[in-house]
A and B are shown apart, each in its own frame.
Chain A
Amino acid sequence: MTMNPFQPIGRALLNLFAVIGRISTFAGSGMMHAVRPPYYPRIVLRQMVDIGFYSLPVVGLTAVFAGMVLALQSYTGFSRFSAEGAIANVVVLSITRELGPVLAGLMVAGRIGASLAAEIGTMRVTEQIDALTTLSTNPMKYLVAPRLIAGLTMFPILVLIADIIGVFGGYIVAVYKLGFNGANYMQKTMDFLTFEDVQSGLVKAAVFGFIVALMGCYHGYNSKGGAQGVGMATTNAVVSSCILILCSDYVLTEMFFSK
């Protein structure tokens, strides 16, 4: 039996392009519905509370421990060449530029991506999405657009809060464990921080929020079969949003800081 070795490669590649195309059209259609009336302010608000407010504990805990570990680890490193003074600098830059958006993004991908995919997936397999269509409601507009808006807007706010909590975590360890002067530490933190550091983190956050909401909605919306299909959609949503977050993080970092 002869098999063309290029066949499976070609098939995988074509599938990949097909998926990218489908996700792009889905995202485009979702955004188009988000900017065109009718709007659903009530649902947007509910999603904002779900995605934003209820993610605060998870994001806050992640940020505070990330900041604490960062202070501790950089102290170990920097004390070897007597550069302990740079800890405040390292903590604040790492948190605002990278760890804030990425860690918050990954945590919320697990929390929100999974619940979006499971909710919309269940609505799909129980025909609730079809029911929306028969009740003069466009499911893209009613289900997908509000979640995309909520992801896009709430993530930067979450990350801003995570930044503050993360720096605070570093401060606690530096002051109470490593014996730094508190006022001095805060002064150093503010001295080094530029607007661009925070801004780049917030832009990343908006992109990550969009990715998480998009992947949750896309996989849920296209789930097939019963409980198993919904389970698969949930897994795919979380895995794909985590991978996309890490990939786009690199691309965004390149764009911001390579010049």
Chain B
Amino acid sequence: MGNTPKIEMRGICKAFGKKVVLSGVDLDVGVGESVVIIGGSGTGKSVTLKSILGLLTPDSGTVKVDGENVIGMGAADRERINHQFGMLFQGGALFDSLPVWENVTFGLLAEKRCTREDAPEISIEKLAMVGLNADVAYLMPSELSGGMQKRVGLARAIASDPEIIFFDEPTTGLDPIMADVINDLIVKVSREVGATALSITHDMASARKIADRIAMLYEGKIIWQGPVADIDHSGNEYVDQFINGRAEGPIQMAVRA
């Protein structure tokens, strides 16, 4: 315990072919803390997240979870580490061949923490946590609206009581009201399960709401990080430009070239 961060990233580099995406990301996420990584599209936010999850292997650098380096670890250890993760994917990534209840309890069933007989009931409990009623459990994901799919995705992410939850652009593609509902839910459920949260987004309203601390990713590096209260007087012109959404400033978008 004490001052070992839950997640500790040091010098993460990743390139796809000649395209360098990450060039030395350093970031700590404390136990129980909610950190939001902000940054423009294509700045490597998703790659950072996937490097921690083990979906991508960084070219160099270390990722420590509870002080244990997870890069290059064997499949069995990796699985053990992944047991404590939950993730909300950008598009929900619900399994469309399975009903909602089986989606929600998929992780629990895989880890044999519940039986198929109990699964529908457990899923209804989890769905209630994200404000969905019991009827939804027996629908197929394709029968749900975008906002409901996000909620089911959230229910699935928290179902196995993870210690760390990752949120990949949780509000993208939702209307402002639904986005706010999801933000509230994220804050609520992460507190309820007492999880550490790491989110990536480019939605500042969402970032302000769910973050304890914000880190900005630009050109493959964390260029600023600090408490959410400091974001408006960060003294960093890149951050200022981003949070105010100005086209003019030090960040040049490739589209205008």
Contact = CB atoms under 8 A, between A and B. Distances in A.
Nearest to A135: B107
Given A134-B82, A135-B106, A135-B110, A127 B91 contact: yes
A210 B21 CA distance: 38
A132 B94 CA distance: 10
Contacts of A133: 53-55, 82
A131 B53 CA distance: 10
A134 B79 contact: no
Contacts of B106: 135, 137
B64 interface: no
A80 B107 CA distance: 69
A85 to B, nearest CB: 53
Contacts, number: 51
Contact of A127 (B79, B83, B89): B89
Interface residues of A, number: 13
Question: Which of A130, A133, A136 has the most C-beta atoms of chain B within 10 angstroms of its own C-beta?
Answer: A136
Contacts of A135: 106-107, 110, 156, 160
Contacts of A131: 87, 89, 93-95
A132 B95 CA distance: 9
B57 interface: no
A41 to B, nearest CB: 12
A134 B53 contact: yes
A19 B166 CA distance: 34
A128 B79 contact: no
B86 A134 contact: yes
A126 interface: yes
A128 B95 CA distance: 6
Nearest to B156: A135
A128 B82 contact: no
B120 to A, nearest CB: 16
A124 to B, nearest CB: 11
A83 to B, nearest CB: 54
B53 A127 contact: no
B90 A127 contact: yes
A137 B110 CA distance: 6
B208 interface: no
A127 B110 contact: no
Contacts of A126: 91, 93
B111 interface: yes
A136 B91 contact: no
Nearest to A43: B97
Contacts of B96: 128
Interface in A95-152: 123, 126-128, 130-138
Contacts of B86: 134
Nearest to B166: A134
Given A123-B95, A126-B91, A130-B93, 5 more contacts: A130-B53, A131-B89, A136-B79, A136-B107, A138-B75
Question: Nearest 8 CB-CB pairs, A to B?
Answer: A135-B107, A131-B93, A127-B93, A134-B87, A136-B110, A137-B110, A127-B89, A135-B106
28 contacts: A123-B95, A126-B93, A127-B90, A127-B91, A127-B93, A128-B94, A128-B95, A128-B96, A130-B50, A130-B55, A130-B89, A130-B93, A131-B89, A133-B53, A133-B54, A133-B55, A134-B86, A134-B87, A134-B107, A134-B166, A135-B106, A135-B107, A136-B79, A136-B82, A136-B107, A136-B110, A136-B111, A136-B160
